[in-house]
Every structure is written in C-alpha cells, then in structure tokens.
Amino acid sequence: MNELYLNGAFVAPEQARISVMDRGFLFGDGVYEVIPAYAGRPLREREHLQRLDNSLKGIGLAPPLSPPEWSLIFQRLLSSTPKADQALYLQVTRGVAPNRDHRFPSQPVPTVLAMTKPMKPRDLAVAERGVEAVTRDDIRWLRCDIKATALLAAVLLRQSAEEAGAEEAILVRDGLALEGSTSNLFIVREGRLVTPPKGPLLLAGITRDLVLELADVAGIPHVERNIEIQELRRADEVWISSSTREVMPVTRLDGALVGSGQPGPLWQRIDRCYQDFKADLRRAAA
C-alpha cells in the first residue's frame, strides 16, 4: 500500500492518524464497504456506494462524499498498481466526540478512510474440492442489513469456524439459515437456486445480486425465500458468496458431505459466468 486517503488527504499509512476519541474506535460507530477492483476497475461501484449510503442512513449519518468524489479517490488509490486485482476498503465513522458520550454529537464531523490491499489470487483447489462450513447460532444484532464496523459477533463466529477447520460459519436464527459470518448463502434443490430474501437479518450482498443476474442470463431458475436448517442439510449444492471470495462451493457441512461432496454442476455454470464477467471488466479497462 503506497498511500491511503484520510479526511481529505492522501498520506502514507505510517503517517495516518486518528484521535483516540473517535467514535469508530470507542464504539464501533461507523460503517464500511469493500469493493473488488479488477485491472483498476471497481466491480459494481455504484451499487457498493448505494449500499454505503443505505448503511449511513441506517445509523443516522449524512454521506460525507458524493459518488463522483469517491470515484476520484478510487482512481488515485488504484493507479499505483493499475493492472493488479485489488480490494478497496472505505470506512466512515461518526468522528471525534469528547467525553465518550453515547449520545450523538450535535454536529458530527465524520472520519473518512479509504485504502486498498491486494486481492488473493483465485484458489484453484476451491474449484476442485470446495470448502467446508459449519452451522452456528446467529448471535449478532437485529440490523445486519447495516454494514457496520462493530463486527465482534461476526469475528467470533468466523473464528469458531476457523477453529473447527472450516472456511465459514453459516448462521441460523429461529430455525432459518440466513447467511455466513462474512458471506451470503445459496443452496440448490432439484435444479433450482435458492437464497434467503433481503431483510434486516442479513446483508444485501452486491455479489449475491450479481449471482442472481448471472443465473438469469444462464437460464438457471432461482427464487428468494427462507431456507430452513433441515433444507440446508438436504441441499444438492451449497454456495457462499462475497466481494473478495466471489462464489465458493461448500462441499462439506458440519462434517457431512453436501450432495456428491464435489462442486456441483450449477456452481460450475455460475463460476464460469462470474469469471467471464470479470474478464469483460478487465478488457474494458485495457
């Protein structure tokens, strides 16, 4: 990382400073986004920024920058390694407020951060073998549609999966499988793709929506509805999706095989569509 953006200036990471009284540091009072960029082109930038605005609205904070202003920041940050695949991270907190008061400051001055990091190369072993997931009770709050920086519950759940030797924890609340600790959830049953509907108990994933669009183009029938835990366990295929993971096939769930125990045929179709979509984005940047 050559530089990052902080509160109107581009600075070296070692020179970046925020106050210990920042509400993001003290309370996790802020929101964030992660945007994958291929060959310098952010994937679904408009949709990510719209979700950022939705999250800001959810916590009662006005957007500090317009989409064109964000775009200029992204262009500068991505220009240092224009041909590399990178992940843009942007975060907005409610800023500095004295005396560690839980109440909102009357005139907040947000702290605005943006930076990049290299994207991990696609792991070909995932396409060959898939990944393992475990189910866990959803211990998070009731506004999971807000992409908040207060991620302790998700951190604990993801760590629980790590300690079980799994890639992800699929979260269950009131008998329904909702999403992963850091991903959205899909299953395949009898040739139909199923994903839980949007709502306050899960994050409206940008990659999730792209998968549904690609399914339309590929002629894969799909529906948004609740997934009961028993149906999850009987699924022919299980997938998880996120901006940096793309779409991963889950081939083992709580130690049991999912379907044949290999990445399924519908996942293979969607994965080809997703890789073609990325290739088109790279060609547009050339």
Q: What is the mean pLDDT of residues 60-82?
A: 96
> What is the pLDDT confidence band of residue 99, given thresholds at 50, 70 and 90?
confident
Q: What is the mean pLDDT of residues 238-264?
A: 97
Q: What is the mean pLDDT of residues 136-151?
A: 98
Beta strand 111-118 pairing with 9-11: unpaired
Active site residue 147: yes
Span 165-208, pLDDT tens digits:
999 999 999 999 999 999 999 999 999 999 999 999 999 999 99
Q: What is the mean pLDDT of residues 100-125?
A: 94
- Six token digits for residue 193: 């793709």
- Give the C-alpha separation, 251 to 130, whole Å: 5
Does the structure show a pLDDT above 90 at 276? Answer: yes
Regarding whether 164 and 49 lie in a shared domain, the answer is no
Regarding whether 263 and 196 lie in a shared domain, the answer is yes
Give the helix ranges, DSSP H, for 124-263: 124-129, 152-163, 206-218, 229-234
Does the structure show a pLDDT above 90 at 78? Answer: yes
φ/ψ of residue 255, rounded to 5: 85, -10
Q: What is the mean pLDDT of residues 82-95?
A: 95
Does the structure show a pLDDT above 80 at 285? Answer: no
Q: What is the mean pLDDT of the chain?
A: 96
Question: Total domain count for the chain?
Answer: 2
Domain limit, last residue, from 95, 118, 141: 118
Regarding whether 149 and 247 lie in a shared domain, the answer is yes
For the chain, give percent helix, strand, coil, nearest 5: 35, 30, 35
- Give the C-alpha separation, 267 to 127, whole Å: 9
CATH number of 68's domain: 3.30.470.10
Residue-range definition of the domain harbouring residue 170: 124-282
Tell me which of 57, 147, 198, 278 is the catalytic residue. Answer: 147
- Percentage of the chain beyond pLDDT 70 is 100
Does the structure show a pLDDT above 90 at 38? Answer: yes
Rg of the Cα atoms in the chain: 19
Which pLDDT score, from 0 to 100, does residue 224 have? 98
CA angle at residue 57 from 51 to 59, to 5 degrees? 110
